[in-house]
Structure 1
Amino acid sequence: MMIYPTMELLDGHCVTLDKGNLDAPQVWHVDPVATARGFAEAGAQWMHLTDFNALQGDNSNEALVEEIIRTAGIPVQLGGGIRSRERAEHWIGKGSGRVVIGTLAAYDPAAVAELAKYHPDQIVLAIDIWQGQVMTEGWRKAGAWTPEAFIDAFENLPFAGILVTDIDSDMSDVEAQLGLISGLAAKAKSPVIASGVVRTGDDISRLKYVQNIAGALVGRALFNKTLSVEAALAIAQPEAEPVAEFL
């Protein structure tokens, strides 16, 4: 299972949010560029980056995001405010390994279908869920989709993955999150990436045995120092198959 060390940016700072609440961010006083390099130095093969300013239509972090993409040393999976084909292709052109799209998919499925076909394995579909509905506009607006219908609408497209976040039980009810995410993973044809569910190494241990969950974002636990990148990567490795000894 792939571990994606995760960085969230707001006003140039690394932050974590409680259920997407931008009014009360937890600010981490670290250098975002150095932190991204640290992910690579610890052995990560990918990182995930979300730009919360871009979610609000503010491009003030753009130069910083470009620097992280250019210098991290590993591919970056980028989300936040990518609500047009032009913005998606802008970031792919800037070197982003993947772009994460949610709101655009809800409003213009045909455009996302074209993007996925033109950029196979570079588009990640985001499914952000609140009380059984897919949310858009940075978790602020309920759409007309259920998660199951959303998956069905895009089932034959060559997505790099489907990023599932259960906002309703964000970090407070891991059992409920695991149930929701594993149910959607069983339905999806693209590999599923779990978001918001990893607090400890034990959560990774459980996730890696769920069918079709191919990865997990790990952010808050890294900044809280309850989990290291190295430990998360080690736990995510498949267990060695027992080998019988013949005498």
Structure 2
Amino acid sequence: MMIYPTIELQNGRCVSLHRGRLEEPQIWHVDPVAKAHSFAEDGAEWMHLTELDWVAGGMGSDDLVKTILRNSGIPVQLGGGFRSLDQIAKWIDLGAGRIVVGSFAVHSPDLVKAAAKRFPDQIVLTVDVFQGGLMSDGWRSTAAIRPEDFIAAFREDPLAAVIITDIDADIADSDGSLGLVSHLAESARAPVIARGLSWSLDDIARLKYVPHISGAIIGRALFDKSIDLCDALAVANARPGPTAQFI
């Protein structure tokens, strides 16, 4: 299973959000560039980066994002409210390994399909679910289409991956979230990445055996040191031990 350590940027700082609330960030006093480079040093093969100011419609820290793309040492999966093909093409040209789209796919599915054909295996669809509904516009609106149908609509397109997030996930009810994510993953042909379900090494050990899930995004748990990235990678990449043969 692939581990995607993640950085969320807001006003040039590393932050974590509670259920996507942009107005209530938890700020981590670390250098974003150094943090991104540390992911590569620890052995990560990819990282996930979200520019939250773009999500809010602001200018964002373009120069900082460019620096991370150039200096992280590993491919970057970049998200942040992409709204046009030109914007997607620009950041792929600037070095993003993949571009993550969510609301753009809800409002302009044909353009996202065109992007997937133009940039095969570089477009990632994100599916954010709250109380069974598909959320868009920074988790502020509920789309008319069901999450299952939304995923199925892109089954024939050459996506790099599908990210599924259960916004209503709670640490005490992780079994329900695992069930939801696993159910939705059945609708996808592209590899599925789970977000918001990895708070401990035990979570990662369990997630790697959930059907149809091939990756996990981890953010806050790395910053508050609930999870050490080296340990997470070791658990995710561990091979099953030998099984006794019974006659």
- Report if TM-score (shorter chain) is over 0.5: yes
Partner of 1:158: 158
Deviation >6 Å, runs of 4+: none
Task: Go from structure 1 to structure 2 and tell me whether the alpha carbon gap of 1:171 and 1:139 turns closer, same or farther (over 3 Å shift).
Answer: farther
- Bigger drift between 169-178 and 28-37 goes to 169-178
Question: What count of residue pairs does the alignment treat as equivalent?
Answer: 245
Contact 1:104-1:112 at 8 Å conserved across structures: yes
The Cα of 1:244 is off from its aligned counterpart by 7.3
Q: How does 1:139-154 map to 2 (within 5 A)?
A: 139-154=139-154
Task: Go from structure 1 to structure 2 and tell me whether the alpha carbon gap of 1:122 and 1:70 turns closer, same or farther (over 3 Å shift).
Answer: same
Partner of 1:45: 45
- Residues 1:135 and 2:161 aligned together: no
- Residues 1:68 and 2:68 aligned together: yes
Task: Go from structure 1 to structure 2 and tell me whether the alpha carbon gap of 1:171 and 1:22 turns closer, same or farther (over 3 Å shift).
Answer: farther
Contact 1:18-1:170 at 8 Å conserved across structures: no
The Cα of 1:171 is off from its aligned counterpart by 4.7
Three-state SS of the structure 2 residue aligned to 1:193 is: strand
Contact 1:5-1:39 at 8 Å conserved across structures: yes
Listed one character per residue, the Cα deviations across residues 197-241 of structure 1 (whole Å, up to 9, x for unaligned) are 100001111111112211000111100101111011000014245
Superposed CA RMSD: 1.4
Gaps of 5+ in 2: none
Partner of 2:25: 25
In 2, Cα distance between the equivalents of 1:146 and 1:244? 44
Contact 1:19-1:170 at 8 Å conserved across structures: no
In 2, Cα distance between the equivalents of 1:219 and 1:89? 26
The Cα of 1:142 is off from its aligned counterpart by 1.2
Three-state SS of the structure 2 residue aligned to 1:21 is: coil
Three-state SS of the structure 2 residue aligned to 1:242 is: coil
Contact 1:129-1:167 at 8 Å conserved across structures: yes
In 2, Cα distance between the equivalents of 1:120 and 1:241? 36
In 1, Cα distance between the equivalents of 2:238 and 2:120? 27
Residue type matched to 2:86 in 1? E
Task: Go from structure 1 to structure 2 and tell me whether the alpha carbon gap of 1:170 and 1:101 turns closer, same or farther (over 3 Å shift).
Answer: farther
Residue type matched to 1:13 in 2? R
Gaps of 5+ in 1: none
Partner of 1:204: 204
In 1, Cα distance between the equivalents of 2:241 and 2:84? 46
Residue type matched to 1:95 in 2? G
In 2, Cα distance between the equivalents of 1:154 and 1:241? 37
